[in-house]
Chains A and B, each alone.
Chain A
């Protein structure tokens, strides 16, 4: 399992709405935000490739999201 800290940046003022839609996802845990255009989240996926795919999907499908930046990537062998 790959566990990553990510910073998600959005269009101005959109962060709370993006947070609401991401909150439903089982592998995303929101840990903070600036209330406007930045979100901090912990993402767990089965592999680095899946993590990449998730980030790509997010960028492709959600107009409000401008960037997904990894701040930490750890590997849990369990």
Chain B
């Protein structure tokens, strides 16, 4: 019997309607073999917990984890994450460059080529002819394997990562002031703070879920004050009780002037200073409070205001709010302070405000650095995968630390080289100079993200440099320059640990198998290790094998998280180290007696800054120093770069989401109306922005949220490279580049 199409449709319609009688249609909650897998957002360093919804082997949705710090909320990028997995730009099979073109190859062909090139370079020129450039987005286990393979196996300290471009100055700030890296506070401090000092951070767009937590605090406690210090009136300034706009690169003067007000108006906690603080200048801690007062005399609010182009009374107000007795004050900052040639100093000056007022280590009072990448803290900073570091606070330059690691890694004494390797920009300069012959780039996009990127793109294109890119996406502005592209498993396709800004470690469970022929990065690295004859150092079969080894490496350091077994991570919704035993709850506030397991119970004070030998933190006298390249007659405008909420980093992932390519995807030049008028341009016109390093044409957006004589461009557009213009000058301590300030000329195009 045949039925007509009409009959078929009617019966299908009836069946579906009848089926729906038993319950409302609930697309994301429907039954049928679906599961929800616990994970963490792939994007920023906030580290929001989420569940990945899987149906028929595919990720169909994500939902926030309400048992995690984000209380179930996700920002718009996180919500759209499932789309990245099936993007047409997913890298699904290995590729090798043949006759100038990247063509499909087998894993065997690609890996044997990589291994032979690495072997050849090492034999011919020594281990320092090869290098690894990693990422604050790799999983902790992956970064650990790379670090061990290169430093203990190949025996080169040519290991650095993109956290050098974003967090190095925060590290430098914490280490110089407190002796150890990583914030002492936590997200929960937000719920207790009465005053927020947000300096050089557009929290609303770069860390939306933390911004939301600040908003909720403000709603709950109406007297809460929010101070936003940023040249631009960003969306963060919407909740500001005081927004201080200033000339880029002059915040050191403002921060010193705030300290001046605190000292001169009696907001100082003398008792705290007596018990916990020393004063220093340069690298010596041999100064006194009196010396510090004398140093601050140069930074009256009036003088600072004249340098910074802001109002003196605003500086006074900010200081009074910050210092008010009985109020908890929390500072937060990110790239505005870090991406600077005096980034470490700027960090020191924020810490100073907390130390002289004693507003530190109590609920709501803490200097809290916000992190840009999901595992910059956990994988690269803590894991020690930078050119001067070894895992968990150990230093390459420290002989005892090297010996300890050699023992832990089971390699002969003297294996680890004593000389730190090059920092990121220096590493690419070594590529440029032909000293580095083989470069392995994992999970990052330096062909777009380096400062003065035109220079380093040329370096990567040298005929005698062999570039391997392990990436989940292709093409990127880096993989397009590669000699071999290795397809890496993406988020949700592999398992591992991320550590976010508040020392919170969380397990991302695998939800689906890798796409195409992709493999998790640790497997690729172990494969390379075997091919280089170093398989005994990287014998891992699973990420758990690696994690169990990591637990032995962190033991006995101040990072100690030995209690974070794989099983405990699987059960938990994030754990904060130190966490030295399986029954330890984790540490919300470091250095605080009663919370931090490393502060002895009989310590006479509430805090012990045990990171430094004398148990005291340092108030550093850091004079105002301007940016490396302030505007001048030839390049008269300030140029700065940053984020927008819709996109992330180089856009490799966010630009694959259909909603997001229609939202702020193109980098435009944001100009103040007065500047637009001078240039004779309006929104939609084009301008050519030129610095001493390069130029790029952008569409104009005229907005009064910009500051006069400042042009802002976002960093996420692979077609309009903001970094052709930025400067590759480095902070002398952190070696972080000054992305945030340089001089440009702007012409109508």
B433 at the interface (CB under 8 A from A): no
Q: Determine the distance from Cα of A6 to Cα of B16 in the docked complex, in whole angstroms.
A: 8
Q: Determine the distance from Cα of A61 to Cα of B141 in the docked complex, in whole angstroms.
A: 62
B399 at the interface (CB under 8 A from A): no
Chain B CB within 10 A, most for which of A6, A71, A74 = A71
Q: Determine the distance from Cα of A44 to Cα of B10 in the docked complex, in whole angstroms.
A: 9
Find chain B residues with CB under 8 A from A59 CB: none
Q: Determine the distance from Cα of A38 to Cα of B17 in the docked complex, in whole angstroms.
A: 10
Find chain B residues with CB under 8 A from A69 CB: 20, 24-25
Q: In the complex, what's the smallest C-beta–C-beta distance from A3 to chain B, in angstroms?
A: 4
B19 to chain A: closest residue by CB: A71
Find chain B residues with CB under 8 A from A41 CB: 17
Q: In the complex, what's the smallest C-beta–C-beta distance from A48 to chain B, in angstroms?
A: 14
A23 at the interface (CB under 8 A from B): no
Q: Determine the distance from Cα of A5 to Cα of B21 in the docked complex, in whole angstroms.
A: 11
Contact A74 B13 (CB under 8 A): yes
Q: Name the interface residues of B1-58: CB closer than 8 Å to any CB of A.
A: 5-6, 9-10, 12-21, 24-25
Find chain A residues with CB under 8 A from B19 CB: 71
Contact A76 B9 (CB under 8 A): yes
A77 to chain B: closest residue by CB: B5
Mask of B390-420 contacts with A, CB within 8 angstroms, 1/0: 0000000000000000000000000000000
Count residues of chain A with CB under 8 A from any CB of chain B: 24
Mask of A3-16 contacts with B, CB within 8 angstroms, 1/0: 11111010000000
Find chain B residues with CB under 8 A from A32 CB: 14, 17-18, 21
Find chain B residues with CB under 8 A from A7 CB: 17, 20-21, 24-25
Q: Name the interface residues of A43-78: CB closer than 8 Å to any CB of B.
A: 43-44, 69, 71-72, 74, 76, 78
Q: In the complex, what's the smallest C-beta–C-beta distance from B161 to chain A, in angstroms?
A: 50
Q: Determine the distance from Cα of A4 to Cα of B20 in the docked complex, in whole angstroms.
A: 13
Q: Determine the distance from Cα of A38 to Cα of B20 in the docked complex, in whole angstroms.
A: 9
Contact A5 B13 (CB under 8 A): yes
Q: In the complex, what's the smallest C-beta–C-beta distance from B326 to chain A, in angstroms?
A: 54
Given contacts A32-B21, A71-B25, contact A40 B14 (CB under 8 A): yes
Mask of B531-562 contacts with A, CB within 8 angstroms, 1/0: 00000000000000000000000000000000
Contact B6 A76 (CB under 8 A): yes
Q: Determine the distance from Cα of A31 to Cα of B16 in the docked complex, in whole angstroms.
A: 11
Find chain B residues with CB under 8 A from A44 CB: 10
Q: Determine the distance from Cα of A38 to Cα of B15 in the docked complex, in whole angstroms.
A: 15
Contact A3 B10 (CB under 8 A): yes
Q: Determine the distance from Cα of A78 to Cα of B24 in the docked complex, in whole angstroms.
A: 31
Q: In the complex, what's the smallest C-beta–C-beta distance from A1 to chain B, in angstroms?
A: 7
Find chain B residues with CB under 8 A from A34 CB: 21
Find chain B residues with CB under 8 A from A1 CB: 6
A73 to chain B: closest residue by CB: B13
A22 at the interface (CB under 8 A from B): no
Q: In the complex, what's the smallest C-beta–C-beta distance from A30 to chain B, in angstroms?
A: 9
Contact A74 B12 (CB under 8 A): yes
Q: In the complex, what's the smallest C-beta–C-beta distance from B31 to chain A, in angstroms?
A: 15
Find chain B residues with CB under 8 A from A29 CB: 10, 14
Q: Determine the distance from Cα of A7 to Cα of B17 in the docked complex, in whole angstroms.
A: 6
Given contacts A40-B18, A76-B5, contact A3 B24 (CB under 8 A): no
Find chain A residues with CB under 8 A from B25 CB: 7, 69, 71
Contact B17 A3 (CB under 8 A): no
Q: In the complex, what's the smallest C-beta–C-beta distance from A78 to chain B, in angstroms?
A: 6
Q: In the complex, what's the smallest C-beta–C-beta distance from A2 to chain B, in angstroms?
A: 9
Q: Determine the distance from Cα of A76 to Cα of B21 in the docked complex, in whole angstroms.
A: 25
A78 to chain B: closest residue by CB: B6
Per a CB cutoff under 8 Å, which of B5, B14, B21, B24 touches A42?
B14
Find chain A residues with CB under 8 A from B6 CB: 1, 3, 76, 78
Q: In the complex, what's the smallest C-beta–C-beta distance from A54 to chain B, in angstroms?
A: 14
Contact B21 A33 (CB under 8 A): yes
Q: In the complex, what's the smallest C-beta–C-beta distance from B634 to chain A, in angstroms?
A: 62
Find chain B residues with CB under 8 A from A42 CB: 10, 13-14, 17
Q: Determine the distance from Cα of A5 to Cα of B5 in the docked complex, in whole angstroms.
A: 15
Contact A40 B20 (CB under 8 A): yes
Q: Determine the distance from Cα of A74 to Cα of B5 in the docked complex, in whole angstroms.
A: 10
A71 to chain B: closest residue by CB: B16
Q: Determine the distance from Cα of A29 to Cα of B9 in the docked complex, in whole angstroms.
A: 13
Find chain B residues with CB under 8 A from A4 CB: 13
Find chain A residues with CB under 8 A from B17 CB: 5-7, 31-32, 40-42, 71-72
Q: In the complex, what's the smallest C-beta–C-beta distance from A62 to chain B, in angstroms?
A: 18
Find chain A residues with CB under 8 A from B18 CB: 5, 31-32, 40
Find chain A residues with CB under 8 A from B16 CB: 5, 71-72
Q: Determine the distance from Cα of A32 to Cα of B17 in the docked complex, in whole angstroms.
A: 8
Contact B20 A31 (CB under 8 A): no
Per a CB cutoff under 8 Å, which of A5, A6, A43, A78 touches B15?
A5
Find chain B residues with CB under 8 A from A31 CB: 14, 17-18
Q: Determine the distance from Cα of A71 to Cα of B16 in the docked complex, in whole angstroms.
A: 6
Contact A5 B24 (CB under 8 A): no
Contact A72 B12 (CB under 8 A): yes
Q: In the complex, what's the smallest C-beta–C-beta distance from B24 to chain A, in angstroms?
A: 7
Q: Name the interface residues of B272-292: CB closer than 8 Å to any CB of A.
A: none
Find chain A residues with CB under 8 A from B13 CB: 3-5, 42-43, 71-72, 74
Q: In the complex, what's the smallest C-beta–C-beta distance from A7 to chain B, in angstroms?
A: 4
Q: In the complex, what's the smallest C-beta–C-beta distance from B236 to chain A, in angstroms?
A: 40
Q: In the complex, what's the smallest C-beta–C-beta distance from A55 to chain B, in angstroms?
A: 13
Given contacts A40-B14, A69-B25, A71-B25, contact A3 B20 (CB under 8 A): no
Q: Determine the distance from Cα of A74 to Cα of B4 in the docked complex, in whole angstroms.
A: 13
Task: Give 6 closest A-B pairs by Cβ, nearest first.
Answer: A5-B13, A5-B17, A40-B17, A72-B16, A71-B16, A74-B9
Other than A3-B9, A69-B25, give 16 A-B pairs with Cβ distance below 8 A: A1-B6, A5-B12, A5-B14, A5-B18, A5-B20, A9-B24, A32-B14, A32-B21, A38-B21, A43-B13, A71-B13, A71-B25, A72-B15, A74-B12, A76-B9, A78-B5
Q: Which residues of A contact B (CB under 8 A)?
A: 1, 3-7, 9, 29, 31-34, 38, 40-44, 69, 71-72, 74, 76, 78
Q: Which residues of B contact A (CB under 8 A)?
A: 5-6, 9-10, 12-21, 24-25
A-B contact pairs, 21 of them (CB 8 A): A1-B6, A3-B9, A3-B13, A4-B13, A5-B18, A7-B24, A9-B24, A31-B14, A31-B17, A40-B17, A41-B17, A42-B13, A69-B20, A69-B25, A71-B16, A71-B17, A71-B25, A72-B12, A76-B6, A76-B9, A78-B6
